[in-house]
Amino acid sequence: MVNRYQYQDVAWIDCESPTEEEIIDLADEFGLGSILSQELMTPTPKPRVDLYPEFAYTVLHFPALRQTHGEYPLQEVDIVMGKSFIITVHYGPVPAIYDFARSFEAAILLRRSKGAALHTGHVLLELTERLYQGVENELESLEDEVSMIEKKIFSGHEREMVMAISSVSRELLNQKRSLATHHDILESFEQIGISLFGENLGNYFRAVAAFHYRVYHHALALSDTVDELHRTNDSLLTTSQNEVMKTLTIMAFITLPLTLITGLFGMNTHYTPVLGVPNDFWIILAIMAILAVSFFLYFKHKKWF
């Protein structure tokens, strides 16, 4: 599906899961060439940037929203940028692009500085800001989850938080893995854009890089927080398990002598002390109780529990 948006002399063409025929029509209209046409027909596994005589081409992968990505955690956005047009190609729904399309003209007017000539740099800047803002919103949602996990860890629910921490860590791994590739790509895209369109567009490319820097370092900081919580949770779990093992060991240490005493008095011998005298049961029970209380007081004195 191809959607066209025009304002003054600048055209934005957005293609979602385009057919081969649609790509060929665009290639004929904008002189994209057969090589680039083939690139746009299918998803590209890795980010890239290429310079053509009349336009620049780049591929970026953004983390998909959790409620939409399913088994595909990345959203690919191909950008072809010429002097009077910008083409975006994606192979699935991208909410940030839909949002930009609904307010294209108003957004460009707001982005455009007073008195400045309108060019594709305005479209690029507004589009990439929406894309990175979508990632930022996802990170803020994850940040809320991390705050909830932190509260539960320190309120005695550390065992239940193991899976929650693992889930958030996986989401952050997807975020960092996709965003980590953007720095070099955007740097090359800036150099290519300046050589193609002139230094006056340099600020727009640098602004795009600034969007990425802010979002990527937010993901890194949040990942560090989750790692710290993971270590803290592991420490609390280990401490809890050690306390359980200590309690079981003390119980075993107390019951072992008592078991030994009952075994001795249960031996089938001709003469066993105490057995047969008046109140022999209560005497043996008292001996066992005194031993148990003595061990308990000793362990308490040593502060073993």
pLDDT, tens digit, 9 for 90 and up, residues 37-57: 888 888 888 888 888 888 889
pLDDT higher than threshold 90 for residue 217: yes
Cβ-contact 121, 82 below 8 angstroms? no
pLDDT higher than threshold 60 for residue 72: no
pTM, two decimal places = 0.74
Mutual angle of helices 104-111 and 120-153, in 10-degree steps = 100
The residue among 293 and 143 whose pLDDT is bigger is 143
The mean per-residue pLDDT over the stretch 281-289 comes to: 79
**Residues 120, 298: Cα–Cα separation, whole Å:** 81
The mean per-residue pLDDT over the stretch 82-107 comes to: 83
The residue among 8 and 25 whose pLDDT is bigger is 25
pLDDT higher than threshold 60 for residue 111: no
The residue among 283 and 28 whose pLDDT is bigger is 28
Cα distances (angstroms) measured from residue 200 to each of 122, 190, 193, 208: 12, 12, 10, 14
The residue among 136 and 257 whose pLDDT is bigger is 136
Percent of the chain with pLDDT over 70: 90
* Of 61-65, 210-214, 230-234, 279-283, the least confident: 279-283
Average pLDDT of the chain to the nearest whole number: 82
The mean per-residue pLDDT over the stretch 117-143 comes to: 85
Query: Is 102 strand, coil or helix?
Result: helix
Percent of the chain with pLDDT over 90: 11
User: Domains of the chain by range and CATH?
Assistant: 2-237 (3.30.460.20), 245-301 (1.20.58)
pLDDT category, 59, cuts 50, 70, 90? Answer: very high
Cα angle, residue 194 at apex, residues 176 and 50 outer, rounded to 5° = 60
pLDDT higher than threshold 70 for residue 135: yes
